[in-house]
Structure 1
């Protein structure tokens, strides 16, 4: 099963996050194209450097945002440290309860 996909970094992120956090909701948005012109990205052949990730998981229960973000950064540290890896990671982390409250607020 060594089939190459067009989004290997996103695939690894999805697999790691799913395994670690069993999210009820996971949205990975690749924003790399928005940053391709930035100086640090010149010469980079990777099309997977900037991501916006939304994770809803009960694993975040009773943890503040910084602790939640550290959990995700720790999980993806290899992908963030490798050449051509993740350059920027924007996170939105929620518990299922927080997501439900958010939906209720938006519905009114």
Structure 2
């Protein structure tokens, strides 16, 4: 089973979803701005991505620039900030079993197949 953390307003996320639809119909779409992952879920996603929390943050978002940029935050605090402000989570994230990929560019997710 494949899971995509999707934002319908994001063109890269929509393109990634189209790629998934062309490969399989066995996937789940999670609109993470509405169905916000828990701290545990987001931590597991980061682990599957093989990155640090700061690498998952969208640093061009206004929320980041206005409220967080320049502060020294621990990994746990960064995860908490992403849960409080899910727009900060880089997208789309596609997960298949124990591996996850950020679909930027969307073609990166093809390595899961």
Same fold (TM over 0.5): no
Normalised by the length of structure 1, the TM-score is 0.30
Question: Which one has a bigger Cα radius of gyration?
Answer: 1
Normalised by the length of structure 2, the TM-score is 0.30
